[in-house]
Amino acid sequence: MHKLFFLVVAFQFSVFAHAQDMTGLVMKVKAKLDQVNDYEADGNMKTDVSFIKAPIGKVKIYFKKPNKFRLKKEGGISLLPRGGVSVNMSSIIATNDFVALSAGDQVVNGTVCKVVKLLPMNESSEIVLTTLYIDEANLLVRKAITTTKENGTYEMEMSYGSFAKFGLPEKVIFSFNTKDYKLPKGITLEFDDNEKALTEAQKLKNKKGRVEITYTNYIVNKGVADAVFVK
């Protein structure tokens, strides 16, 4: 009986210790990201959503601690997935108020990553669960899957270049589920019938949307005015 008790206690400690390890890793990644107080960058944004026809657009991206983020197309219109304020990693790991659990290792684009499940302690948090794929050697998040209460699940895949030392990506691919889009023809005043019906297979394929942002010309910690974030 005593043996069994010790075994259970030992197992509890090992799980706890493991969870501690992951928190440590996440905190290290956070510390790396925390070097950046603000940044601005140029970027190219490609929107691939079945019901949107948009060309690749030149955008300007601004970030300021703790979680101010703005993606702006000069004089133009930009389309971002709902919940898109989290297009940056810093806002995903903005607080220390989480539990980090290990979920093994996985390879993301040729890099072995630690899979960490991030559970927020605050019950009113919009984020329900975040899974991070952390490149332990470089302390970089290669992939993140976030499930939110209101805006569904979205996935971010990051690749890094010269600003990897700050944890800033060179390219982010943002995948998300789209809802149906349909407006009555009476509202759009389209009375011609020139739209081809989508096949079921296309419809299913088209449920997934993608926004791809390629970052260039980062300017880090040089100050960004608050006015930039006012819409």
Q: Which residues bind another protein (CB under 8 A)?
A: 46, 48-57, 71-73, 75-82, 84, 176-185, 187-195, 209, 231
Q: Shortest gap between Cβ of 57 and another protein (angstroms)?
A: 7
Closer Cβ to another protein, 17 or 183, answer by number: 183
- Nearest distance, CB of residue 204 and another protein, angstroms: 16
Nearer to another protein, 71 or 100 (CB): 71
- Whole-angstrom CA distances from 149 to 10, 62, 94, 115, 154 are 36, 26, 17, 22, 12
Q: Say what the alpha-carbon torsion angle 49, 68, 230, 129 is, to the nearest 10 degrees.
A: 50
Of the pair 48, 155, the CB lying nearest another protein is at 48
Based on CB atoms, which residue is closest to another protein, 2 or 53?
53
Looking at beta carbons, which pairs linking 182-191 to residues 24 or more positions away fall under 8 Å? none
In the complex, the smallest distance separating the C-beta of residue 220 from another protein, rounded to whole angstroms, is: 23
Least spacing, CB of residue 159 vs another protein, in Å: 18
Residue 183 C-alpha from the chain's centroid:
30
In angstroms, what CA-CA distances link 84 with 33, 148, 153, 167? 19, 11, 11, 19
